């Protein structure tokens, strides 16, 4: 077990709940409340849950996995044309060995200790074309934190349909995230609109990930080191190959195997901070021991970078003071990102 992990970063139990989101859009307030109670229970005990009937069409999920596999099968020099180090905004391709394990706040991993992780990734950030609430050409807010900007897309000759497919998936994922923020507000005993003003131009990132099969039988090379996610929450499409594990109170790594038709949702640092860590930002990692190639698509939902994350009064008391002073979402995410990539010049 990680020696001094905070209890708010460890799941209470071994079982990860499966939650049916059919009531997310319900016009019946009692149904939404019932769903909110299930979500509160999952967030306070585990920090992870599966969602079914989530509204993202299965064809979009399958298509985005197909184009991810196509992208990663390009020759390395083609992929390096989109190298993340060329971007000022942490967007683009990160080869195997291009990302550092940074650990968690309680257990940071120093640069010397950080091993090479067996994964490669293609990262994108918020753009107007993934936001169904924006008209084409809508302007971005001032880029105070150096995070809003351009993605590095492969052109149609390189990968036909790639950009359109990934953006199509993101439109659906972002719609789902905005609805989830409303149900999280309800779960926290707040008005459903509580977070609305903080998600005008949300600080969203997504990545396609490829975890190659272990190169040497019997030897495990970590795919993605132990970490918490940084934004508000993550929606993960993990394909059909297992590898994701979450850490529980007993120091056991619990496998979160793929369940057909579901996505995985996990709480991340910013939403956990808002709740004074009542919602767990649970430590997780990925080891692909399957012998197969593994692909996953996390979609990290964060609020507008200029939003202030400030612990809600109702989750503090004299015995339980705020876990952190108020901070800007953009400062938090930028600091984390700037430590994550090898040789990053941005
Ligand atoms: O690949 C996965 O299943 C999880 C990826 C993940 O935890 C991350 O990118 O933060
Ligand atoms: Fe993660």
Which residue's CA lies nearest to atom 5 of ligand 1? 298
- Give the pLDDT band of residue 1 (cuts 50, 70, 90): very low
Mean pLDDT to the nearest integer, 294-321: 97
CA distance 159 to 284: 32
Tokens read off for 78:
């083609």
Phi–psi pair at 145, nearest 5 degrees = -105, 5
18, β-bridge pairs = 50
Mean pLDDT to the nearest integer, 310-320: 97
For residue 3, the model assigns a pLDDT of 43
CB of 284 shorter than 6 A to ligand 1:
yes
Most confident of 3-12, 99-108, 260-269: 260-269
For residue 319, the model assigns a pLDDT of 96
Mean pLDDT to the nearest integer, 2-29: 85
CB of 209 shorter than 6 A to ligand 1:
yes
For every residue of the chain, which 3-state class applies, written as one string? CCCCCCHHHCECCCCCCEEEHHHHHCCCHHHHHHHHHHHHHHHHHCCEEEEECCCCCHHHHHHHHHHHHHHHCCCHHHHHHHEHHHCCCCCEEECCCCECCCECCCCECCCCCCCCCCCEEEEEECCHHHCCCCCCCCCCCCCCCCCCCCCCCCCCCCCCCHHHHHHHHHHHHHHHHHHHHHHHHHHCCCCCCCCHHHCCCECCEEEEEEECCCCCCCCCCCCEEEECCCCCEEEEECCCCCCEEEEECCCCEEECCCCCCCEEEEECHHHHHHCCCCCCCCCEEECCCCCCCEEEEEEEECCECCCEECCCHHHCCCCCCCCCCCEEHHHHHHHHHHHHECCCCC
Mean pLDDT to the nearest integer, 240-249: 96
- Give the pLDDT band of residue 4 (cuts 50, 70, 90): low
Contact by Cβ (8 Å): 9, 106: yes
Using N-to-C axis directions, what is the helix angle for 162-187 and 58-72, rounded to 10°?
Answer: 130
Ligand nearest to the backbone CA of 119: 1
Domains and CATH numbers, the chain: 18-340 (2.60.120.330)
209, β-bridge pairs = 121, 296
pTM of full prediction above 0.80:
yes
For residue 344, the model assigns a pLDDT of 57
Tokens read off for 172:
């659906």
Ligand nearest to the backbone CA of 268: 2
Which residue's CA lies nearest to atom 6 of ligand 1? 298
Residue 346 clears pLDDT 50, i.e. is over it: no
Pairing of strands 18-20, 48-52: parallel
CA distance 211 to 59: 22
For residue 239, the model assigns a pLDDT of 96
Cβ-based burial of 200 (10 A; exposed 0-12, middle 13-18, buried ≥19): middle
For residue 238, the model assigns a pLDDT of 97
ipTM above 0.90, yes or no: yes
Residue 277 clears pLDDT 90, i.e. is over it: yes
pLDDT in tens, 248-265: 999 999 999 999 999 999
Residue 2 clears pLDDT 80, i.e. is over it: no
- Give the pLDDT band of residue 340 (cuts 50, 70, 90): confident
CB of 286 shorter than 6 A to ligand 1:
yes
For residue 8, the model assigns a pLDDT of 83
CB of 225 shorter than 6 A to ligand 1:
no
pLDDT in tens, 147-191: 999 999 999 999 999 999 999 999 999 999 999 999 999 999 999
């Amino acid at each position: 077990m990680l020696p001094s992990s905070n209890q708010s970063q460890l799941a209470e139990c071994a079982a990860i709940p499966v939650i049916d989101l059919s009531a997310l859009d319900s016009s019946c307030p009692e149904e939404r409340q019932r769903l909110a109670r299930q979500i509160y229970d999952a967030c306070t005990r585990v920090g992870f849950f599966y969602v079914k009937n989530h509204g993202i069409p299965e064809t979009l999920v399958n298509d985005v996995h197909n184009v991810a596999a196509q992208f990663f099968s390009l020759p390395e020099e083609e992929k390096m044309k989109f190298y993340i180090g060329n971007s000022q905004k942490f967007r683009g391709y990160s080869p195997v060995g291009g990302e550092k394990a940074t650990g968690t706040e309680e257990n940071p991993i120093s640069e010397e200790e950080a091993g090479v992780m067996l994964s490669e990734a293609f990262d994108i950030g918020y753009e107007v074309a993934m936001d169904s609430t924006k008209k084409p050409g809508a302007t971005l807010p001032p880029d105070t934190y150096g995070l809003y900007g351009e993605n590095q897309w492969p052109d149609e000759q390189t990968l036909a349909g790639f950009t359109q497919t990934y953006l199509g998936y993101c439109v659906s994922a972002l719609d789902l995230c905005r609805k989830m923020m409303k149900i999280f507000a309800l779960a926290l005993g707040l008005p459903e609109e509580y977070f609305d003003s903080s998600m005008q131009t949300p600080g969203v990132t997504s990545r396609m990930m490829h975890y190659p099969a272990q190169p040497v039988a019997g030897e495990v090379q970590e795919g993605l080191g132990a970490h918490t996610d940084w934004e508000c929450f993550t929606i993960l499409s993990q394909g059909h190959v297992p590898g994701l594990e979450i850490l529980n109170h007993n120091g056991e790594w619990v496998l979160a195997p793929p369940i057909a038709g579901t996505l995985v949702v996990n709480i991340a640092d910013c939403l956990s901070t808002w709740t004074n860590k009542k919602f767990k930002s649970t430590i997780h990692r990925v080891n692909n021991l399957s012998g197969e190639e593994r692909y996953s698509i996390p979609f990290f939902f964060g609020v507008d970078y200029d939003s202030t994350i400030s612990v809600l009064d109702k989750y503090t008391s004299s015995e339980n003071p705020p876990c952190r002073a108020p901070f800007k979402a953009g400062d938090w995410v930028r600091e984390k990102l700037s430590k994550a990539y090898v040789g990053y010049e941005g």
